[in-house]
Structure 1
Amino acid sequence: MRLFFCITLILFSSFLFAQGEANYWYFGSNAGLDFNSGTAVAITDGALNTNEGCSTISDSNGDLLFYTDGIRVWDKNHNTMPNGFGLMGDPSSTQSGIIVPKPNDPNIYFIFTVAQLGLSSGLRYSEVDLTLNGGNGDITSNKNIPLFTPSTEKITAIQHANGVDYWVIAHKWNSNEFLSYKITESGVEITPTITPIGSVHNGDPAETIGYMKVSPDGQKLALAKWHNTAFVEIFDFNSQNGQFSNAINLSDMFYNGLQSGPYGLEFSPNSEMLYVSDTDFISTRFKIHQFNLMHGNQMDIANSDVILYDGTDSVSALQLAIDEKIYIANAYSGYLDVIENPNEPGLSSGYVNRALFLEGRQAIYGLPPFIQSFFQVGINVEFTCVGDETQFSVNSSQEIANIQWDFGDGNTTSEVTPTHVYTSAGTYPVTVSVNSVSGTNRFFTTDIVIHDVPIANEVSNYHLCDDSTNDDVEIFDLSTKDSEVLGTQSDVFFDIRYYASMEDAQNHENELTISYANISNSQTIYVKIYNVDNTDCYDITSFDLIVDTMPVANTVIDLMVCDDVSNDGTELVDLTQFNDDILNGQTAADFNISYHISQADAENDANPLPDDFQTVDNPQQVFIRIENVVNESCYDTGSFEIIIDEQPTAYQPDDMFLCDDLNDGEEAFNLSSQNNQVSNGQTGFNITYHLSQDDADDNQNPLTSPYTNETNPQQIFVRIENTNNSNCFDTTSFTIQVDAMPVVNVVADVTTCDDASNDGTELVDLTQFDNAVLNGQAASDFNITYHISQINAENSANPLPDDFQTVDNPQQVFIRIENVNNASCYETGSFQIIIDDYLEAYQPDDMYLCDALNDGEESFDLNLQNDQISNGQTGNFAITYHLSQADADLNENPLSIPYTNITNPQQIFARIENMENFDCYNTTSFYIEALETPDPDMETTYYFCTDETVVLDAGFGYDSYLWSTGETTQSIVVGSAGNYDVTVAYDYPTMPPLSCSFTETVQVIESDEAIINDIEIEDWTAYDNTITVEVSGIGDYEFSIDGINYQSSNVFNNLPVGEYTIYVRDQNGCGVVNEEVYVLYYPKFFTPNGDGDNDNWQVYFSQTEPDITVLIFDRYGKLLKQLNALSDGWDGTFNGEHMPTSDYWFVVNRPSKGKQYRAHFTLKR
């Protein structure tokens, strides 16, 4: 596939056809440049020594005329002109001056100067007449002519759209106004075109610093504002009327603060790129930014920011030269930095740090500015490869009336910006004739070379086998691919380079060495074939570097195979089972594995064996070959043996049984006695016994013989194996079993309760004792019977029925337990059944108590119910009380006495039981209830205002009332302070009747409104004043300054200056009092400049204190003004004279407060 890429190439006509006015530069510490040779040459003959501002002018042939630092003017011989001193620029002004010729007069020039830091000398101009001083020139009487003040340190110039006049542009200080002064053949028009636009330039005087430039095409202006509020602003400029529009502000990407921010700036020759120096003298970090103005809007321009330099060299002023390069002042380094291709975006612009040595001289911060139109020259040509649409344009600051192009191959056009396709390589003389609307005619010519474009032929992928490290890295000789890329093309005219990415190939960057170690597998390499005379005429193709893995035939352990039942010494073996061992982690998809009968076959990849291989010999040797699937020459070999052994058969023996003599469920079995049955006559084999099939299969944990069983019954697994190959084995199993000897466990004597008849006999279920007899022995293994005598139990005769009616009291019962598999294995025992008397529980009356706390709980003495429950029964018995029937039945959780109820009413369960037998019991129940005690819903504290009364009300709904006054009504009226008691009662119709009462004590308190004794004010601050209120009275008071929000504290803090009303409210409702107060304050500064804003100084709210006086002094103690409460304040004068900017002291006398206050303020002008 053929890839073709074109990179923009701009060829400009020789500078000899351009204006030579900018061929000489003088700047810094006696530094200079001469461009007359076509390149920048450092010169050392200059007399100028300046930190920043400077300007130089030559004639159109490039001969030096004069230069200046904004104060002094030197002629072409480097002598100070006779009147060439005392100009009102400054060497420390960013753009101290700029030189502009008078249109249509070759002898008159104007030097425009701006003062530093916005000083009053402002923007001025002086006239130079080259006919004076013997033809070396001098300043005329038109010297330091003022135009306006104050000005920033910025000035620039551009040709008028009419192609004759010029615009000189400056910017006001403390304003957002641009001033465009028109320079005509009549001279300087002192009335400028004013455009208010963009940011106001104000603040610290250092913020006047920073360059301003117009683009060479005259369509845009950019300025840099340095220090504190730093930014760059870009505007559209109309060179017809001198006005500005479409402000764009850039700030976030720049240093911003003390002694930092954007300083120098410059446009590219095609006016599409803007370059800005970004300085931070505190951290000593400096940057060069590039912005692409073709993006149009603020966001896109900001996002186009590319940092070309970021370091500690003090890069500052930038200036475009006639060689289409931009030069950057590198302060105190003895060098200039250079941007080689400023029309190119990003790093293609070719920034070179310390590129031009100044032959021992120093650049500092400034470079000479010129009329930007000087740098719009000649013919622009882009795309110069055969078959390109070669683009042509001409630089002109004037409107073109008509134009005629000759492309040098017989083709012409009158288009302004034509394109033309050259069909063959060669050198073509291109000419253009331009007629402007203003009548100016210009002619340009240049030779352009059109170059052949090579073809990048398709290249095959490059394979190498990996070495023994298998690290996927090999050294490739890339030059072996040159012939494939070239094909029939000549290597004399075309060269080839190799790159790791398409971007590198396109940008001709990061070329790979011919002996190249790949960094990935596979890695794509991009081949660029290009014309040696024009690297932009190229084609690109690609191929892959592939490192083929060298396989390893890993060791395969010899395979021992068990014969089948035929035992004929041969077996069918699946050879693919060895693939994983051979690969041992290598990727199966990358390799082929084959098996062979001989080493020779393996080496030659001949006669591979089938996957299912029937062995011939015993043992059988097999040879291995493993090879890379994409490169069969990368292989390895190995071998292993297949050995076939005889397979035994395991015959099943009889199960084994033993009786348990020790009654522990264990016996020792002679397992080896089973060998003959297992082998059944086979020889040459080993027999082992195991506890599991897995152990038998894996030949793990063989048992010793005799073996004591661990479970009963227990399965034993037998393994018989070939003594030469343990993989050749067979297994079987049998059972060993121990018959258990039963144990009669002790059965405790049983006591049971008689029924209501109390006759001493009961029907008993004897099976309930089976579990006690077994005591963990398996019920399925044993039979249990019960008998009336020991003889019957011994002989297993006359067993008793399960439901047995006792005869005696106590009744003795005999037990027999025997093994179900062996009746002779038995044991006997006995126990007694005892029958105890029955008791009756009689129901008592319910219990009631008054609820003292009305919480539904009271403490009850339950023992008071005992006599009713027993009802005269005698004997050894006990009575307990419980919360549930279940607890009473189980005799659990007896209640402690006295008992506090948890529900109301609550049922209580009583249990009466035989102390000889707790199972002989009976239960009953009754209720306990805590009856409500009155709880009067009334306040415990009452307030009344002086000379008034208050009603005390105990509430409705009680059966009786009794007040400490002797009254028996629900409520009473009192008019004096003190404590009052009232008793209220509920009467309940219980048996016996119950009355529950409660006595409440209330307090009656007298209250009254407050008396404000004093209000203390701590003022003289804007927002942090304090008011303290002092009151007296018998009430409980709260305080407010808005009558809405009250607080308990009498102190109000953090108050702003102003008028306040203080409110004091009795919290018991006995009234609110208030009083107005004023918080005084004075301004810290004032500006008596007559603008109606902050023109007088006075104490705020002083009119609220009629007796107040204010005395104002200067810093030497001289009394300047006395103010009273109603004065309008001080206007900043004394005896009619304006007092200067300074600090002034004052004394405030406040007789009504008994205070005096002293402080100072600032007068600013």
Structure 2
Amino acid sequence: MKKQLLLVFFIISSISLYCQKEANFWYFGKNAGLDFNSGAPISLQDGLLSTDEGCSSISDENGNLLFYSDGIKVWTKNHELMKYSDGSLANNLEGNPSSSQSGLIVPNPEDKNIYYIFTVGTDFIPFNATYPSNPGFNFYTINISKGNGGEIIAGPVNLSDGRDFQWSEKVTAVQGSNCTEIWILSIVQNTFYAYKIDKNGVDANNPVTSFSSYSLIDKRGYLKVSPDGTKVALADFTNDGRGRLVLYDFDNTTGKVASNRLVLTNGPVDGSPYGVEFSQQSRKLYTSLYHESSGSFRIFQYDLLDANILQTKTQIHQEPGYRGALQLAPNGKIYASIPDKSYLGIIENPEEDASNVIFTSNAVDLGGATSSQGLPPFIQSFFAPVKLVNLSNNEVLNNNNQVFCIGNSYTIEPEKNNPSDTYTWLKDGVKVANTRSLTIDNTNFGSGLYEIKIESATECKKTYTGQVQIYFEPKPTINKIDTYIQCDFDSNPLDGFTSFNLELLEPLLVNDFTDISIAFFEISDVNYSTPLNKNNYVNSVATNHSITVKVTNNTTQCYKTEIVDLQVNPTGLTSYTDEYICELDQNASNPNAKFSIGTGDSFFDFSLKTQQIISNSGGVLSEATHDFEYYRTANDASLQINQILPPYEDDLFTNNSDVYVRISNKGVTSCEAVGNFKIFVEEIPVPQGNLNDIILCVDNPRLNPQPHTVPLNADTGNPNDTYKWYLNGNLLSGETAAIHTANTGGEYKVEAYRKYPNISEDCMGYNTFFVKESNQALIINVQSVDDQDNPDGNKIQILIEGIGDYEYALNSTNLSDFVKDEENLSYTFTDIPPGLNAISIRDRNGCGIVTSNKISTVYFQRHFTPNGDGHFDTWKVLGVDNDYYDVVKVQIFNRFGKLINEITDKNHSGWNGVYNGTILPSNDYWYNAELIDSNGKIRKKTGHFSLLRK
């Protein structure tokens, strides 16, 4: 809860003022205004100023509005047009509503009634306007004690050095090296002009000129000096993106701009820069850019403290919009204007690194008014606070809200030191001291807003202020702990030096680790500059030694210290009995694994070792009084790191691994004894196996009992190993040999067991054999089909039985002639030639070939052409010239039924178309055929055929 309250407090206190109040009133844009007197800006609706870009306003040192201007007109605090001394209205100054910094108001350093308005014009003349075309760089003198809110008593005075038309739209101002001088700075092309302002006014005749190797491409964009007066940044805005952001060094004593310019943006890639602003502490630089191709408004940050400023360029914001200004405010925030918005954006914490910067886009509601491109610039020195420092470390306190620690005393004072000045300290608005230094703690003043007011005794008679919010926070709590006793079991166990793991003490020293850090130091390190190696600290003094622990709250940085005592006990290593374990099976977690694979490592149940050590201690040790910790190395045991913890299945050991045991008194950081032993990992046996099918050829039909067998050899090579055999998951009783004779198919698993003398249970490995039964085919049926009209249509279909994998061949037993079909137990051959045919069936598993009986196929010719070409020159019955048929009788008739030929010899060459020496003509002829096979089966056939003469 305290941290939450602290965070809220920081946010609230971040609005506290750090500067004079001359910049507390802003008028800008289209009748927009802001009042910063309460810290956070309050929207105003009383302003009469309406401008596209340039504007300026000024208040007195108490934050009361004096007057404001757009560089053309001047309005008093009563929102009336100011007049010249001759009574004419101040509505024709040499500024321009389209000039980036049309007007800038600067007070005389010593005369509180005299102010100056510096104007810069532009080439652009609005429609129907009477403004001159770039009248250059001019100034006017105003006396606020005259008239009703001030009069312009002199001007314009031209400072353009004869270069009116070339002059830029840029002007800025900063205090000189003391409060009696102010520098007004502007630029034309590649030349800076700095004019000194002192009690005598503007030294218009003696400008300090500085030449730059960078020459302006355009006139537009802002010019700013850093609040500390050391840097100058200009934005050279161009429509085509060629413009650049350029940074220079500045000497606020001489008014010289150094020639060491640094170009910070990259043309169209980044966008064209327009607005420029420094953070209050002059540590960060910001620029706003218009990126034409994306139509977006962008903001970049640069770190001016970095050795390579350009490398720190970081984009912190982008949104749709045109070019707009950036302006530092009295509250230390930077405000951003984008044209035609009803709000302003805010860089909430400009001093932070880019990664931590917070930009709020619509942060300030303008109450119905709208923004334009410009915001009112001021003398940048208005925003340079009096720096308050902590004398103990010279840290500047203004940069952040400060957290001090309860119980400590702090002395703070301003950097500004003039013995003749008057110093007044206030805490929460109440005066507490009139000294330059102020010593505070949580009891005398405590938390609050501390402010110093310094009344300058010099001729400028100014009042300077500086503020810092201080909040006192408690230090962390540290528990007092017992001496940390460590066993000395390194390479020299008697020298009194050993390694300590100080991290083990942290949970004893601190109850709540939230947002704290813990470090250890030698007692002699009073500045806490060299933290000790917490996880491997070797005591610097033998045997008994003390160190300092420092516990720091990371948010508040408050810390507390305590002394920690260390003690080294000389100790030798005790040797314990070595342990032997079987290696693990890599496939143990796979229920479908068919064989084991030794991993070469295994785990050990150290709870068994603890019981063994206790049993052998003679009652000295017990788990109730002692802690037993196991480690892989002596160094780990000493530092108590990488402890072996249950479940022990997570810690695997290879053969001949060392283990160290540390025995400590329970509940305290002490070491009573240390010892070690080895773990030996024994190999599991590796039986042979075969995951490919081993074929067992059986009879077809299968005999019972089945007489055929195949040997399964699982021999591990170790004659002392024993075996168990399983068939399809069932133990084969009595089968314990390395070789098993299998007489049936199935999955055979073999387990091999090996006994080791130091392991109570045998180590086991396993493997698998697959036995597959097969046999020759048994022919069930053969069916032949004659196609009497087409010999190519003849076919034979065979049907078999068996458990093999079969393939088929016609009239061959050559392996290359066998073919396989989708149907394993049947096959159909087509295009069977006439005559006798046989089918052979082969078991692809190697159990043999069987061949069918001869099958007769005959064909009665449909025609013949007796022309001597060797093709169908005669007519006959094909396929009968073999032993299958005993009798063949064929009679041939003409169409009138006259017998013209008869064939009774099965080997007859056939009828040649001649009858009684006469060549018969082409015609259809008829036949009667009778075939008798060797079994006496008669086949009769009647039909006709054609004799064709060609």
Q: Which has the larger radius of gyration?
A: 1
Report the TM-score range of the alignment, normalised by the length of the smaller protein.
Answer: 0.3 to 0.5
Higher relative contact order (CA 8 A, sep 6+): 2
Q: TM-score, normalised by structure 2?
A: 0.47
Q: TM-score, normalised by structure 1?
A: 0.39
